[in-house]
Amino acid sequence: MVDTVEFTDIRIADETIDDVVAVLEGGRFVKGPVLERFEDEFAAECGVEHAVGVSSGTAALLLALQAAGVGEGDEVFVPGHTFFASASPVLELGATPVFVDVDPLTYTMDAEALEAAVESADSPAAVVPVHIYGGMAEMDGIREVADGHDLFVLEDACQAHFAARGDDTAGAAGDAGAFSFYPSKNMTVGGDGGMATTDDPELARRMRMLRNHGRDDEGTHRRVGLNYRMDETNAAVGLRQLARIRDWNAARSDAAQRYTERLSDVGAVTTPFVPEASDHVFHLYVIQAPDRDALRTRLERDGIGTGIHYATPAHRHPAIEARVDAPRLPETERLCDRILSLPMHPRITDEEIDHVCESIAAYYG
């Protein structure tokens, strides 16, 4: 079976196990030096001043918005074509997500649609561009809108570790960034985990406080915060992953190139668009395919696992529809019936890719 993603892509090397055991033997499980080192090295790799390790990508999104002061009455702009967790932290803070349509080529937030949504909003406060599938949103256009309306820009880089576009790097192109280390992501910490990034020392200080019960360095609880810390064992795994992420991203990119070449003759299928001068890190390789569900069944019969990211747009989930008036987003809704995620991970072989492409070509005859 050729799987869509590989949760253990990663094969835990001996050196990683040694590091985890060292943490366990040392007995310092939280708030220790390993997390500090992981944060410093992640910040350097990302090109930001501060990185704050937390318990998940969702926590990173939540804490960044909370630290920026987003709360009740605020409107936060989120693309419709994304995972639920790009929007749920907004609701959790009592603010309102306003859903914006995506660009039909890159599937990321459309800056013109953002401008239109902001202009008809009552109290616009923040925007969350999502670097979906590992390809960066067009940040120049989004920053221009944000600058014009004084919006806080939080990049959802949960699928885009070290993606780049033009002069921008994911997580360093807004006021703050949020990364996920969920085990299917391009890098993990061996469990759930996340990282919030920023150049702003005050924002970083507030996020550190909010991840730890709202406590300041003297032990006084200045804000009501919960516990969103990252454990030392996870940070130890993260450090080893960080040393290899660039190689894994390159392997994903090579695999994507082979898919695109092999599928170029299958006219029915639309392969991913990669803008010029960009590093797409292919967390997922997603095609658009007519008769998607029938194709999926055929691939399954040929031993090929596929996924749909996402069958329901963020704003159409009952938990969100119950709280906000969801607009019609034609591009987002059109994509949902056509997208298909093909197997993608750093160790996928040329033979596996060719098998998938042959099966797709055979289906369309």
Do the Cβ atoms of 189 and 181 come closer than 8 Å? yes
Residues 78-97 that bind ligand PLP (CB under 6 A): 82-83, 85-86
Residue nearest to ligand PLP (CB): 57
Which residue lies nearer to ligand PLP by CB, 83 or 162? 83
Instruction: Kindly state whether residue 106 participates in binding ligand PLP, applying the rule CB under 6 A.
Output: no
CB of 202 to ligand PLP, least distance (A): 24
Rounded CA gap, 15 and 350, in Å? 29
Rounded CA gap, 109 and 155, in Å? 11
**Which window, 50-58, 144-152, 263-271, 351-359, contacts ligand PLP (CB under 6 A)?**
50-58
Instruction: Kindly state whether residue 56 participates in binding ligand PLP, applying the rule CB under 6 A.
Output: yes
Q: Which of 251, 249, 258, 284 is nearest to 351 (CA)?
A: 258
Pick the binder of ligand PLP from 4, 10, 35, 57 (CB under 6 A).
57
Residue 328 CB neighbour total at 10 angstroms: 10
Residues in binding contact with ligand PLP, number by CB under 6 A:
15
Which residue lies nearer to ligand PLP by CB, 56 or 332? 56
E-only strand ranges, the chain? 50-54, 75-79, 96-100, 124-127, 152-156, 164-165, 168-169, 176-180, 194-198, 278-279, 285-288, 339-342
Pick the binder of ligand PLP from 159, 169, 186, 332 (CB under 6 A).
159
Site string for ligand PLP, 117-136 (x = CB under 6 A): -------------x------
Look up residue 120 and give its amino acid. S
Which residue lies nearer to ligand PLP by CB, 5 or 116? 5
Pick the binder of ligand PLP from 96, 180, 198, 288 (CB under 6 A).
180
Which residue lies nearer to ligand PLP by CB, 173 or 266? 173
Rounded CA gap, 41 and 222, in Å? 29
Coil vs helix vs strand at 62: helix
What would the DSSP string read from start to end of 71-88? -TT-EEEEESSS-GGGTH
Which residue lies nearer to ligand PLP by CB, 193 or 266? 193
Given the rule CB under 6 A, which residues bind ligand PLP?
Answer: 56-58, 82-83, 85-86, 130, 156, 158-159, 180, 182, 192, 194
